Structure 1
Amino acid sequence: MTAAKPLTYETDPTSIAAGLKSSFEKASSAIDGSTVLNLAADKEDWIDTGVFVREGQEVSLLSEGVIWLSREHDIQVKGNAALWYRVGNGTIEKSAGRTTTFRAGRDGPLQLACRLAGHWLDDTGRLDPDVPPMPMEGGLTVGVAAWETAAEDGLERLAGSDDTDLARAELERLRSSRPLPKGWDHLWRVGRTDIFCESVTEGRPVLACNCTADSGIIKYPVDVALDRSTTLSWEWLVRALPSEVPENTLVTHDYLSIAVEFENGQDLTYFWSSTLPLETSFRCPIPGWEKRETHIVVRTGQEQVGTWVADRRAVLADYEGAVGGEHPGRVVGVWIIALSPFQRRNGQAEYRKIILSSDTETVEVGP
Structure 2
Amino acid sequence: MPETKRSILRRAGTFLRFVQQQRARLPQLAAGLPAPDPAGPLLIDGSESDWTPCGLSVARGDRFQISARGHGWLAKGLGLVFEPQAALFVRIGGVGPVRRIAAADWVFEAWTNGEVEILSKGLSEFADRNGTLLPGKRPAMRPGFSVRTARTEAQCDGTGVPADWNYLWRIGEAQVFTGERDDVEVSLDASVGILQRDVDIPLTGNTLLEWDWLVESLPSALPEDLAFTHDYLSIAVEFENGRDLTYMWSAGLDEGHIFRCPLDWWCDWETHWVLRSGPTGLGQWHNEKRLIAADYREALGEPVPARVVRVWLIANSVFQRQSAHARFRNIRVA
TM-score normalized by structure 1?
0.79
Which position in structure 2 is the counterpart of 1:190? 171
1:307 to 280, 284, 288: 284
- Judge conservation of contact 1:80–1:98 (CA < 8 Å) in 2: yes
Q: State whether structure 2 residue 183 is matched by structure 1 residue 206.
A: yes
Which position in structure 2 is the counterpart of 1:180? 161
Q: Which amino acid aligns with 2:145?
A: L
Q: Distance in 2 between matches of 1:280 and 1:136?
A: 35
* Percent of pairs with identical residues: 36
Q: Distance in 1 between matches of 2:167 and 2:63?
A: 20
Q: State whether structure 2 residue 124 is matched by structure 1 residue 142.
A: no
Q: Which amino acid aligns with 2:230?
A: H
Which structure has the greater CA radius of gyration? 1
The 4+ residue runs of structure 1 with deviation greater than 3 A are 1-6, 8-13, 132-136
Secondary structure at the counterpart of residue 127 of structure 2? coil
2:83 to 78, 82, 97: 78
Q: State whether structure 2 residue 325 is matched by structure 1 residue 352.
A: no
- Judge conservation of contact 2:46–2:138 (CA < 8 Å) in 1: no
Moved more, 113-122 or 282-291: 113-122
Unaligned runs of 5+ in 1: 21-35, 153-173, 358-367
Q: Distance in 2 between matches of 1:265 and 1:38?
A: 36
Secondary structure at the counterpart of residue 81 of structure 1? helix
Q: State whether structure 2 residue 29 is matched by structure 1 residue 7.
A: yes
- Judge conservation of contact 2:48–2:138 (CA < 8 Å) in 1: no
Cα deviations by residue, 1:121-174 (Å, 9 ceiling, x for unpaired): 111111124xx4464421211111122x3357xxxxxxxxxxxxxxxxxxxxx4
Q: Which amino acid aligns with 1:193?
A: A
Q: Which amino acid aligns with 1:7?
A: L
Q: Distance in 2 between matches of 1:85 and 1:68?
A: 21
TM-score normalized by structure 2?
0.87
- Judge conservation of contact 1:118–1:189 (CA < 8 Å) in 2: no
Q: Alpha-carbon deviation of 1:43?
A: 1.3
How much is the aligned-residue C-alpha RMSD, in angstroms? 2.1
Q: State whether structure 2 residue 105 is matched by structure 1 residue 124.
A: no
Task: Report how many aligned residue pairs link the two structures.
Answer: 309
Q: Distance in 1 between matches of 2:146 and 2:239?
A: 38
1:234 to 184, 190, 211: 211
Which position in structure 2 is the counterpart of 1:275? 252
Q: Which amino acid aligns with 2:214?
A: L
Q: Distance in 2 between matches of 1:267 and 1:216?
A: 16
Which position in structure 2 is the counterpart of 1:110? 116
Change beyond 3 A, Cα 1:331–1:248: same
Q: State whether structure 2 residue 317 is matched by structure 1 residue 336.
A: no
Q: Distance in 2 between matches of 1:344 and 1:308?
A: 25
Q: Alpha-carbon deviation of 1:317?
A: 1.4
